[in-house]
Homo-oligomer: A and B are copies of this chain.
Amino acid sequence: MEFTVYLAGQIHDNWRDEVRTKAKERDLPVNFVGPQENHERSDHVGEDILGEQPDKVFTDDAASDINNFRTQLLLEKSDAVIALFGESYKQWNTALDAGLALKGNKPLILVRPESLVHPLKELSNQANVTVETIDQALDVLAYVYE
């Protein structure tokens, strides 16, 4: 049985490549989807497709139109969600995606460093599992196939 897992989180580094590579090494039949990982493209896709916007507020809103279209479509097709938080960036869209996933009955794995225990406590408490590393998240996925 093959699963689709949405990878919610920041797009400033290549953590999703790590997930994909390690899942491959373990031969997990999991199809990973997620947001646009090219940060530049993600921020400019609104103007790229919809044309120049009046100011930065509207540029951001135009980009979000298209990023949210992508997220809604892929999240709806996913069987589970991994949400990763780190010490940098606001990451409110990650928490938002986690809320959408939870209310949409998708099981959720939260990945976060111990330093973020306190501010993520409500989210962690609603997630199915909270781990600190990507390896642990894959351990959880792999467990489904044992």
Q: Which residues of A contact B (CB under 8 A)?
A: 1, 3-4, 31, 33, 36, 38, 41, 45, 48-50, 54-58, 60-61, 63-74, 76-77, 79-80, 85, 89-105, 107, 109, 114, 116-126, 128-131, 136, 139-140, 143-144, 146
Name which residue of chain B comes closest to A99, CB basis.
Answer: B99
Question: Please, which residues of chain B bring their CB within 8 A of the CB of A91?
Answer: 92, 119
Out of B33, B36, B114, name the residue touching A143 (CB < 8 Å).
Answer: B36
A121 in contact with B69 (CB, 8 Å): no
> Can you list 22 A-B pairs, Cβ within 8 angstroms, ordered by A?
A1-B4, A49-B140, A50-B136, A61-B121, A64-B124, A64-B125, A67-B122, A68-B125, A69-B80, A71-B122, A72-B128, A91-B92, A92-B92, A92-B95, A92-B119, A92-B122, A93-B121, A93-B123, A95-B95, A96-B123, A98-B99, A99-B103
Out of B1, B55, B90, B109, name the residue touching A119 (CB < 8 Å).
Answer: B90
Question: Please, which residues of chain B bring their CB within 8 A of the CB of A144?
Answer: 69-70, 73-74
Question: Please, which residues of chain B bring their CB within 8 A of the CB of A102?
Answer: 96, 99-100
Name which residue of chain B comes closest to A56, CB basis.
Answer: B117
A124 in contact with B54 (CB, 8 Å): no
A143 in contact with B70 (CB, 8 Å): yes
Complex alpha-carbon distance, A55 and B114, angstroms: 12
